[in-house]
Amino acid sequence: MEYNNIKVKGYDFKILLTEFQIKDQVTRLAEEINEYYEGRELTIIIVLKGAYIFAADLCRLLNVSHEVHFVKFTSYDGFTAKATIKCDVPLETDVENKNILIIEDIIDTGNTMAYFLETLKVDKPASLDICSFLLKPDALKHKLPLRFIGSEIDNGFVIGYGMDFNEEFRALKHIYQKI
C-alpha cells in the first residue's frame, strides 16, 4: 500500500508513521502497561489536547483497573515552543498515594512535563510515570520518568493522530513530519 506526502498550509510533510504502525505501537504499549501495573489500581492523567486520540485507543486496551483525568497546558504557537507554560485545565483529583500514569502525545524539550511533574510531586503520589507516544530525545532538556515510549523521532515538527498545527490536522490517521 502506498502512502502519500501532504502539503499543509504551504509546508510539505512526509509520512512518519502509518495508521497500522500506530496501532501496533499502541498495542505494544498497552501490553507493557498491563504487565507493569498488574494487580494495582492506576490513575491516568491525559494531557489535552494532543493525547486524546492516543489515550482513547490505549485505554480501550488496558486490562488494569484505572480511572481517567485530564489536564491541559498551552506551550506551543505554530512550530515554536512558547517561553511560558499556562495551565488551561487543572487536574481535579487527589494524587496522594496513587499510581499515576501521565499519557502524552509527544515530549520534545520536556519543559511542560517537568513543570507538571513538580506540581504533582508535592502531593506525594505512590508512583509517577509517563507514557508518551513520541519522544524527541535530542530536544529533551529534563530528566523525566519516561517508562513507556512508542517511538523516538528526530526534532522535526509532526502532525496527525492528535497532534496539531495551530489547532488543525489532529484527525489525520497517519503521523506526518515537516520536511
Positions marked catalytic: 108
Q: How many CB atoms lie within 10 A of CB 108?
A: 23
* Own/partner pairs, 139-145, CB within 8 angstroms, 24+ separation: 139/108, 139/109, 140/107, 140/108, 140/109, 140/110, 141/109, 141/110, 141/111, 141/114, 142/109, 142/110, 142/111, 142/113, 142/114, 144/107, 144/110, 144/113, 144/114, 144/117, 145/117
